[in-house]
Amino acid sequence: MNILDLILNAQGGGAVRQLANQFGLDEGTAQTAISALLPALAGAVQQNTRQQGGLEALLGALGGGNHSRYLEDPSALGDPSTVNDGNGILGHLLGSKDVSRQLASHASAQTGLDSGLLRQMLPLVASLLMGGLSQQANAGGYLGAQARQEPQAAGLLGMLTPLLDQNRDGSPLDDLLGMAARFLTR
């Protein structure tokens, strides 16, 4: 299962319902927003894991945080601390608020949703992404002592590939380069 499906289907769609209620949206619109924001965030995770020590840092964050709670108990998305957690995740993944704004603007152009609304949802979607990765890391045994000594998290990162390979050519690289080019030309 890819990360988008995991998030959309967790707790019978509980995260989608929670975000819809929180932002006064119908569930279809909330799902559209998540689907528009998540690929760029997943791409940022993959990019960060390719940097020196990036995979170990991701596994440490997944093991040290309680991110899975966002999928296990979607009402946690309504807690103000979740926005703080999400903003921290965004800062690590994207590096600046300008990139977050560009991501929201791009998703707005793609979906027709208000970019301000998408900016507000972005920290929560980032929290959901980490929640999904955390669940998979725990289920796949990627957080045990042996995994930390010899990171073998291909299965964990493999959840991101179907989401990132939007043209379904078997390689997410061209799609990631396209996303990066769109951000750099704005």
Kindly indicate the confidence band of residue 49, based on its pLDDT and cuts at 50, 70 and 90. confident
Q: How far apart are alpha carbons 97 and 34 in whole angstroms?
A: 19
DSSP class per residue in the chain? --HHHHHHHGGGTHHHHHHHHHHT--HHHHHHHHHHHHHHHHHHHHHHHTSTTHHHHHHHHHHHS-TTHHHH-GGGGGSHHHHHHHHHHHHHHH-SHHHHHHHHHHHHHHH---HHHHHHHHHHHHHHHHHHHHHHHHHHTTTSHHHHHS--THHHHHTTHHHH-TT-SS-SHHHHHHHHHHHHT-
Q: Residue 140: its pLDDT value, please?
A: 62
Q: Are 119 and 48 in contact (CB under 8 A)?
A: no
Query: Quick check: 151 pLDDT over 90?
Result: no
Which range, of 20-29, 131-140, 152-161, averages the lowest pLDDT?
A: 152-161
Q: Residue 174: its pLDDT value, please?
A: 45
Q: Residue 51: its pLDDT value, please?
A: 80
Query: Quick check: 183 pLDDT over 80?
Result: no
Question: What is the arithmetic mean of pLDDT over 168-183?
Answer: 44
Kindly indicate the confidence band of residue 180, based on its pLDDT and cuts at 50, 70 and 90. very low
Question: What is the arithmetic mean of pLDDT over 52-81?
Answer: 83
Q: Residue 179: its pLDDT value, please?
A: 44
Q: Which one is predicted more confidently, 15 or 50?
A: 15
pTM of the model: 0.77
- Domain assignments of the chain as residue spans, ordered by start: 3-184
